[in-house]
Structure 1
């Protein structure tokens, strides 16, 4: 997996908003970065379980 700190930060912010019950939005990104974002979201969710 390509480690991109910006994608990881966006994933953490997404999960934080999701877990708090606030509205969340997916940041604007290229289609190429989408799988990396989803993988990062899954990893953050697993860490918080």
Structure 2
């Protein structure tokens, strides 16, 4: 996985909002960034489980 600090920060913000019950939104990104974003989100959710 390509490490991109911006994608990691967006994924962290997404997971925090999701866990707090607030509305979440997916940030604007290119199609090739999407798998990296989703992998980061899944990893963060798995760590919490």
Compute the TM-score of the two structures, normalised by the length of structure 1: 0.96
* Structure 2 alignment gaps of length 5 or more: none
What is the deviation of 1:48?
Answer: 1.2
* Structure 1 alignment gaps of length 5 or more: none
What is the deviation of 1:22?
Answer: 0.1
- Dislocated runs of 4+, deviation >6 Å: none
The total of aligned residue pairs comes to 49
What is the deviation of 1:47?
Answer: 1.2
What is the deviation of 1:33?
Answer: 0.1
Matching residue of 1:20 = 20
Compute the TM-score of the two structures, normalised by the length of structure 2: 0.96
Alpha-carbon RMSD: 0.5
